[in-house]
Amino acid sequence: MIVYNVTVNVDDDISEEWLEWMTTKHIQDVMNTGCFVDSKVFRLLTPEPEEGESYTIQYFAETIEEYERYQIEHAAILQSEHNEKYKGKFTPIRSVMEEII
């Protein structure tokens, strides 16, 4: 299993709106690509951010090829939509992990 992990720090003034949009629109759009089999959303409790709220969204792909297909065919469009809507109000950190056990 491959986990595409996106940790996002969001400005306080848009945190609730952003979370609503993510959970009702963006995550569903990512899942509709067919590249991932599941997703989860977490609020980071520690370390506490100095400003804003931090969330982690995890997308689960069965193979690295499915994750790569997402990156090639879909990521730029979906990330651009996110950036246009909340430009300057969030900071993402993206990572990819492989399940070992």
Q: Provide the domain limits for residue 67.
A: 2-56+63-98
Q: What is the pLDDT of residue 48?
A: 84
Q: Can you say how many angstroms the Cα of residue 45 is from the centroid of all Cα atoms in its chain?
A: 17
* Contact of 56 with 19, CB cutoff 8 Å: no
- Of 93, 96, 97, 95, the C-alpha closest to 8 is 93
Comparing C-alpha atoms, which of 74, 75, 78, 83 is closest to residue 10? Answer: 83
Which CATH number do you get for residue 37?
A: 3.30.70.100
Gyration radius (Cα) of the chain, Å? 14
Give the tens place of pLDDT for each residue, 31-79: 999 999 999 999 999 988 888 999 999 999 999 999 999 999 999 999 9
Q: In this predicted structure, what is the pLDDT of residue 66? A: 98
- Per the structure, the count of domains in the chain is 1
Strands 38-43, 2-10: pairing kind: unpaired
